A = this chain, B = another copy of it.
């Protein structure tokens, strides 16, 4: 007997028909003798609909505590509906709001972090053979105000719950069959990856693979909680992500469309100027993605390219153009509509020639890169949006991902 957390996303719980499908997965898991806790999302579309209502009265998104109260209602509705369906199938079940389950968070409304999980009552319910259906995405402060966990919040609360109740595994049911070597919508030869190390998954998630949010992967990695990603709608065992599983020289090619590029040419002052720039950006809470810097010996000046999310582009520009900073460089240019294509794999740090493959593949496909950055597990390049498809295909082929059986 194992203890399993099963998390269902918004498209898996869009309506009562979809919820019936979720219930079948729960029944199957339960029939194999396991204890089952479920984390359920809001019906897809409902959060957007509520956000629209909120923006009618709160243009500047200032009232995050009340916004959390409003947004938490979607999961509440689905939790109740799923419990009813499970009971009508003859199973024992009950719902748990975040506050009932004991998911205590800080009071950073809209982006709250779980600081404690008092899940004793919920565990008693599991031991009594009940399916515990918990609302995803939400918790409660010590002062009893409802919070939401922000982007990827339902995945995060699933992993947090799994950790708190010492589950054996956390299964994330979604609308895709698992993690692929590339986006199957772009690359038809993309292969499902049956097993991944948490490190690889984290690099994939943070470089654009949308199957799992990187916050949930980070949490699972630090808590050593095995994850599985699989489809609600199609049979299949999905992708298991756990420490000690087989790793890959190259696990996949991934991309992100949410990238803007800002380039500063003729930057003087070396490391001091860089520090000034990035601390000014950090003060405005602008997240920096990729950074590339190159210096010329003769002049002592350098060129700096960095990337932000599209949403932060205008704010980042006004920071680097501000009085104290605009004197640091000679020229500035920026492109708001940019993309980042990455290759991820544990082999990138140890195997020689991996970088060469990257450049050769893109060169042969006539793709002009704006900037390239490498890390231990990743090579990323910025390029114009229309080049995504050919870049993904070229890299997928060049690294032999269409041939891997794993």
Q: Mark A25-60, 1 if CB is under 8 A from B, else 0.
A: 000000000000000000000000010011011100
11 A-B pairs with C-beta separation under 8 A: A53-B77, A54-B80, A57-B84, A65-B94, A67-B84, A70-B77, A70-B81, A72-B76, A73-B74, A76-B76, A99-B99
**A79 part of interface (Cβ distance < 8 Å):** yes
Q: How many monomers of this chain does the complex have? A: 2
Closest chain-B Cβ to A46's Cβ sits at a distance in Å of 10
Residues of B within 8 A of A87 (CB): 62-63, 66
The complex places the Cα of A20 from the Cα of B56 at a distance, in Å, of: 11
Closest chain-B Cβ to A15's Cβ sits at a distance in Å of 8
Those of A227-254 within 8 Å (CB) of chain B: none
The complex places the Cα of A69 from the Cα of B81 at a distance, in Å, of: 9
Dominant secondary structure of chain A at its interface with chain B: helix
**A100 part of interface (Cβ distance < 8 Å):** yes
Given A16-B53, A53-B16, also A77-B81 (CB < 8 A): no
**A392 part of interface (Cβ distance < 8 Å):** no
- Closest partner residue, chain B, to A65 (CB atom): B94
Interface residues of A (CB under 8 A from B): 16, 19-20, 50, 53-54, 56-58, 62-63, 65-67, 69-70, 72-74, 76-77, 79-81, 83-85, 87-88, 94-95, 97, 99-100, 144-146
Q: Are B95 and A57 in contact (CB under 8 A)?
A: no
Interface centre among A73, A87, A145 (most CB of B within 10 A): A73
Q: Are B54 and A69 in contact (CB under 8 A)?
A: no
Q: Are B80 and A76 in contact (CB under 8 A)?
A: no
Query: B63, B69, B84: which contacts A58 (Cβ < 8 A)?
Result: B84
Q: Are A76 and B70 in contact (CB under 8 A)?
A: yes
Residues of B within 8 A of A83 (CB): 63, 66
Q: Are B73 and A76 in contact (CB under 8 A)?
A: yes
- Closest partner residue, chain B, to A17 (CB atom): B56
Query: B66, B69, B88, B144: which contacts A57 (Cβ < 8 A)?
Result: B88
Residues of B within 8 A of A85 (CB): 57
Closest chain-B Cβ to A21's Cβ sits at a distance in Å of 13
Closest chain-B Cβ to A82's Cβ sits at a distance in Å of 9
Interface centre among A56, A72, A85 (most CB of B within 10 A): A56
Residues of B within 8 A of A69 (CB): 76, 79-80, 95, 97
- Closest partner residue, chain B, to A71 (CB atom): B80
Apart from A65-B94, A69-B80, A76-B76, 4 more pairs, CB < 8 Å: A63-B84, A67-B80, A97-B146, A100-B144
Query: B70, B79, B80, B88: which contacts A80 (Cβ < 8 A)?
Result: B70
Given A72-B76, A73-B73, A76-B73, also A81-B95 (CB < 8 A): no
- Closest partner residue, chain B, to A66 (CB atom): B80
The complex places the Cα of A95 from the Cα of B70 at a distance, in Å, of: 10
- Closest partner residue, chain B, to A121 (CB atom): B144
Given A66-B80, A77-B73, also A57-B100 (CB < 8 A): no
